[in-house]
Each structure stands twice: as structure tokens, then as C-alpha cells.
Amino acid sequence: MSTTPPLLGIAQAFNAVNAALGRACAWLTLFLVLGTAVVVVLRYGFGIGATALQELVMYAHALVFMGAAAWTLQRGGHVRVDIFYQKFSGRRQALVEILGNLLFLLPFCLFLGWNSWDYVTASWSTLEKSGESGGLAFVYLQKTIILVLVVSLVLQSLAELIRYGYILAGKLPAPEVKHG
């Protein structure tokens, strides 16, 4: 009977949280299509402005991209230039992933979190509303999506570091490398 090491359990929990968030955000793309269609039909078909719906589409758009970024990372869906990487062994790829997380992703997340914190908290302190007539009263929630991005990417980066650390240590099998 094998038990999951505690660190791998934490990584799996982070993966589960980001997968759930990512899947939920992915479903918002259906709303993006329908909401945009309704805005266009109302505006150009009936001459009716739908500011609140247009802003809601904008909020959903931000959430699709920022809320699903960590899930996309988890699934290996971000664009990468892998001319050399694809020929590396699984353990060498793990080392590249660890260095990429430590040198690029985590510092980026810390920079973005640090620089957006005041922006988001200032919006929350006034419960910022839309400046548009008929707009939504939830601008502070939209701005909070930036911090959702930061937190989810940090959690996913930690999960990746744990997994690749186990691969480097030989405690997990390296992913099969596809050459070609």
C-alpha cells in the first residue's frame, strides 16, 4: 500500500484548485460569444446600448484569460520555443522547468502582485463603480482578477516545482520525451 508523499499531495491539491478554476473560466467563453452577439444585435439591430452587458463581457474576457492561465500552464498549453527542449531527456526538461519557474515565472508573479496590490486595494476601498452611465458597480471585482492570476500562477508554479523536483530526485518517472 503506497501513500502519496505530503509534498506531492500539496501539489495535487494546487493542481485540483487550478483545474477547477480553469474549467469554470473556460465555460465563460460561451457567454463571451452569446453576450457579444446580443450587444451587437441590440446596438446595430435596434439602436439600444447595453453598457452593463458590454462591461460584463469585458469582465468575463479578463477572467477567461487570467483565471485560466494557471490551468493552461498545468496542461502545458502556453506557447514555448522548444527547439532544444524537445530533444532533452525528461530529467533535463525537469531542470529547465525548475529554472524557468524560479528565474522567470515566480519573479514575474511577485512583480505583478507587488505592483498591482495598491491598484486593487484602492479600488476596493472605494468599491469602485463604472464611470459609464448604466455600467456595472463592480470595477473592484474586475481589478481583483489580476490577483487571481497572481495567486493561481504562484500555486501552479509551486506544484510544478514539487513535481519536477521529484522527477530530478528520481522519485517520479520522467515524462516520456517525444523526438521528432
* pLDDT tens digit sequence for 93-128: 899 999 999 999 999 999 999 999 999 999 999 999
Q: Which domain holds residue 63?
A: 6-169
Residue 144 is assigned to a structural domain of this protein: yes
Residue 105 is assigned to a structural domain of this protein: yes
Residue 90 has pLDDT above 90, yes or no: no
Domains of the chain: total: 1
| Average pLDDT of every residue of the chain | 92
Provide the grid cell at 39: 450587444
Which distant-in-sequence residues (6+ apart) come within 8 Å of 94 by Cβ?
164, 165, 167, 168, 174
Residue 56 is assigned to a structural domain of this protein: yes
